[in-house]
Amino acid sequence: MDLESIRKDFHALSEGLIYLDNAATTLTPKPVIDALTSYYAYYRANPLRSIHLAARKAEDKLNEARHTCANFINASEKEIVFTRNTTEGLNMVANGLNLGEYGGNIVVTALEHHSNLLPWMRKCYKEGRELRIVFPKRSDGVITVDDVAEKIDEETLLVAFTHVSNVLGTILPVEDIVKVAHEHNTYTVLDAAQSVPHMKLDVKRLGVDFLALSGHKICGPTGSGILYIRDTCFDKVEPVFVGGGSIVDVETTHFTYAEPPSKFEAGTIAYCEAMALADALKYVSQIGFDNILSHDKKLIRLAHELIGDIKGLEIYGPSPNDKTSLLAFNINGLDPSEVAMILDSTSGIEVRSGHLCAQVCTKRVLGQPNGIVRVSSYFYNTEGEITKLADTIKHIVDTMVL
């Protein structure tokens, strides 16, 4: 597929900006925006509620979307809970999962986004459990299965970890970690926010019990996301929200839950967004993860090649072979936010700076009190854009670093 030609689908790219902040949120292509608009125009009746024709039409479309989402990660439809984003999905698990009596420990990694750290930190605090944080032994921030295995013991109840670090792009060995965790009978929770845009996810192969992702990270609408709950875990999770649509029977003293996924979807969900999320997943699938991966590799190798040798600049994280298309760096003596502002104001290059909602990683793993600069590309970025980024960084270093 000619990736250059699909740039026309993205309005922001026609404005001359160089958008390299895709790990924060991706751009939404016109076909997905059109689909979303059409759902608001032609499918505007509450699905799973009324029995009139319009509501049934919306319900059919929503069921179709759930089917697409389930296929996309190789789950069954009842295992797909529509959420607003990854954060909501992870909080639903942390707040709803019954881990039994007080005590025991929960294992996370030092690379976690706050969305996959704070819910567990709070759960440990509330439930009297120990939070164990796995720090990488390698200086490039790679976390191995042995690093994680060292923290897991007979007292471990759950292991929550990211698939891909949003700071370094590091890819964690999910299947190996899940194997060790399950040997110790613990639950496994995967934060797939940064992996879903770049690699084919298969929950059966990965073997995790829970997985959360956000639609806006993969060309979908904001306010759309998926929480995968493995069917064997359904009765271990109490829904955080109760209300309309999540029950089958209510009396004055008690109520009976509906079957999943409705049990976990109380209230009117963002159904137009959920429908358009399915369109986004189809759009990205058509491009193909093999194409996305090889494009990712091409751009990240080029970035390392052009930026890696610049004096006065430090790159963090592993080599291009061991990560997604993400480059974390600092320029000596300059605040990361200053660098991001100069890139934007002088060349229209948009990148992220600071702690990236992962302070344990930026401060404790990388030792950077003000965080880092992050460049993150997607399939619509070009080699020309990376070259312009490198030229601008060189210029900043030449003119501002003493």
Whichever of 13 and 357 has its CB closer to ligand PLP, that residue is: 357
Q: Rounded to an integer, what distance in angstroms lies between the CA atom of residue 344 and that of residue 335?
A: 15
Helix or strand or coil: residue 107?
Answer: strand
Whichever of 24 and 287 has its CB closer to ligand PLP, that residue is: 24
Q: Residue 348's closest CA among 22, 18, 13, 11?
A: 18
Q: Which two tokens stand for residue 266?
A: 């109380």
Q: Shortest approach of ligand PLP to residue 235 CB, angstroms?
A: 26
CA distances from 43 to 33, 39, 277, 307, 320 (A): 15, 5, 15, 49, 44
User: Which H helix or E strand runs over 247?
Assistant: strand 247-250
- Site membership for ligand PLP, residue 377 (CB under 6 A): no
152 close to 180: Cβ distance less than 8 angstroms: yes
By CB under 6 A, the residues from 206 to 235 that bind ligand PLP are 214
Among 68, 156, 162, 381, binds ligand PLP (CB under 6 A): 162
Among 191, 265, 279, 385, binds ligand PLP (CB under 6 A): 191
Q: Which region among 3-11, 63-71, 97-105, 188-196 touches ligand PLP (by CB under 6 A)?
A: 188-196
- Site membership for ligand PLP, residue 26 (CB under 6 A): no
Q: Shortest approach of ligand PLP to residue 113 CB, angstroms?
A: 3
Q: Which region among 11-19, 84-92, 173-181, 341-349 touches ligand PLP (by CB under 6 A)?
A: 84-92
Q: Shortest approach of ligand PLP to residue 94 CB, angstroms?
A: 13
85 close to 266: Cβ distance less than 8 angstroms: no
Q: Catalytic residue positions?
A: 357
- Bridge partners (DSSP) of residue 130 are 105
Whichever of 147 and 191 has its CB closer to ligand PLP, that residue is: 191
- Bridge partners (DSSP) of residue 283 are none
- Site membership for ligand PLP, residue 86 (CB under 6 A): yes
Among 91, 115, 325, 376, binds ligand PLP (CB under 6 A): 115
77 close to 83: Cβ distance less than 8 angstroms: no
Q: Which region among 190-198, 278-286, 312-320, 360-368 touches ligand PLP (by CB under 6 A)?
A: 190-198
Radius of gyration over alpha carbons of the chain, in Å? 22
Give the residue ranges of DSSP H helices in 74-194: 86-96, 118-127, 145-151, 174-183
- Contacting positions for ligand PLP (CB under 6 A): 24, 85-87, 113, 115-116, 162, 166, 191, 193-194, 214
